[in-house]
Amino acid sequence: MKYLSFLFLIAISITSCTKNEAFTGIDGGGPKPVPLKIISKDTITTGQIWGLTIGQSSADVYAKIQEIKTERKVEYLSVVGNVFTSLENLAGKIPLYNEILLDEQVGTSTGLQIYFADNKVKSIFNNNGVKMSKWPASYANTSSVSVGDNISDVYAKLVNIKKMGTYANKFERISLFNKDFTKEYDPQMGNSRLWYLNGDITDERYYHRELNFSNGKLVSIYTTILENQ
């Protein structure tokens, strides 16, 4: 499954999302999203799919996703609306996600997209697609985030960047959408009304599930099966 294909899917199928929720960035000039055609759609409001059971708590749903992730080839879990306006609320949370997005309340071309892999900073882009090895480039290492940094050091560095003042407006809207489901549950996920779950069926066919929550309980699952055109 090509990750960018799912970015394309989310962008065209979830019209209720904000631009930032639907867009999770680019990764350095890789393949363009592959157009997908819808094979089938289905909705359940009772029962279960893959052990994801209507009425389960978000914590139990997450535990089940971790259990089935290999068997069901789960590749992407996005937590809609997982947005913060205070950096201090992110202490201990950043290592639980695959990316962090920083921007002003109204999105800008200079918003930041910081991606993680193997517990390190993998890549840094701004919203214009400009790739950086370090942000901000002119700051000391203790007050900048660099490719190769340990993920555990990122929060402290962001705190230092914000204190410097010049880039404080980039912390008005902080988004943690792409969950690293190899890591533990984040209780903040229980406040989300919707998770996206994506993965492979075959080399050409994919599933996209929307897990809908109310008051922290799973109330419905929308499933779309797609394949490459």
CB crowding 152-188: b at 16 or more within 10 Å, else e: ebbbebbebbbeeeebeebbebbbbbbbbbeeebbeb
Would you state the pLDDT for residue 28? 44
Q: What are residue 47's phi and psi, to 5 degrees?
A: 85, -150
Q: For residues 78 and 179, is the Cβ–Cβ distance under 8 A? A: yes
Would you state the pLDDT for residue 228? 86
Q: For residues 97 and 22, is the Cβ–Cβ distance under 8 A? A: no
Which tokens sit at 124? 């840094």
Task: Indicate the length of the chain as a whole number.
Answer: 229
Which tokens sit at 192? 């989300």
> What gap in Å lies between CA 195 and CA 189, rounded to an integer?
9
Would you state the pLDDT for residue 31? 46
pLDDT per residue of the chain (229 residues) written in tens, 0 to 9: 444 444 444 444 443 343 333 334 444 444 455 678 899 999 999 999 999 999 999 999 999 999 999 999 999 999 999 999 999 999 999 999 999 999 999 999 999 999 999 999 999 999 999 999 999 998 999 999 999 999 999 999 999 999 998 999 999 999 999 999 999 999 999 999 999 999 999 888 999 999 999 999 999 999 999 998 7
> What gap in Å lies between CA 41 and CA 117, rounded to an integer?
32
Would you state the pLDDT for residue 33? 59
Cis peptide before 31 (omega within 30 of 0): no
Which tokens sit at 119? 């517990």
- For 168, the enclosing helix (H) or strand (E) is none
Q: What are residue 21's phi and psi, to 5 degrees?
A: -70, -35
Q: What are residue 56's phi and psi, to 5 degrees?
A: -65, 150
